[in-house]
Amino acid sequence: QSVLRVVFHDRRLRCSEQQQLEGWRWSRPGDRILDIDIPLSVGILEPQIHPTLLNAVEFLWDPCRRTSVFVQVHCISTEFTLRKNGGEKGVPFRLQIDTFGAGGRGDPPEHLHSASCLVKVFKVPG
């Protein structure tokens, strides 16, 4: 099982991540920050998109088969800057994936691997 999340890379914003996400939820009701693009993804099973976790998705996959997951990030980096009048540098996001193996009876799942990459999301002008 893997959990894929969009989180803030900046340590200052990580401390206030929940408040930032709640502010985003309030300004964009019904929208999500992260989704799985199911038609483009290969080899993933049981994708789960929790309605309360706007920045996370989960899925199962078989490590013996070719697997790829395509995601859509629905917010831009400047939505979390202080000034929203354009020209801001924007905050970097981190796309992080944590993979867990099946735990035994009553045991928590075993953490197998984590990976992340830095991303900035911008809209093309016009």
- Low-confidence stretches of the chain (pLDDT < 70) are 13-16, 81-89, 103-104, 123-126
Q: 126 lies in a domain?
A: no
| Whether the Cβ atoms of residue 96 and residue 116 lie closer than 8 Å to each other | yes
Q: What is the pLDDT of residue 3?
A: 94
The per-residue pLDDT for range 65-85, each reduced to its tens digit, is: 899 999 998 887 777 766 555
Helix/strand/coil for 100: strand
Q: What are phi and psi of 12, to 5 degrees?
A: -60, -40
Q: What is the pLDDT of residue 88?
A: 56
Q: 125 lies in a domain?
A: no
Q: What is the pLDDT of residue 36?
A: 92
| Whether the Cβ atoms of residue 67 and residue 59 lie closer than 8 Å to each other | no
CA distance 54 to 6: 9
Number of structural domains (the chain) is: 1
Domain, as residue range, for 62: 2-119
Q: What is the pLDDT of residue 70?
A: 93
Q: What is the pLDDT of residue 125?
A: 61
* Residue 120 CB coordination number (10 Å): 13
Q: 124 lies in a domain?
A: no
Q: 89 lies in a domain?
A: yes
Q: What is the pLDDT of residue 39?
A: 92
Q: 64 lies in a domain?
A: yes
Q: How many residues make up the chain in this entry?
A: 126
Q: How far is CA 97 from the centre of its chain?
A: 8
Q: 87 lies in a domain?
A: yes
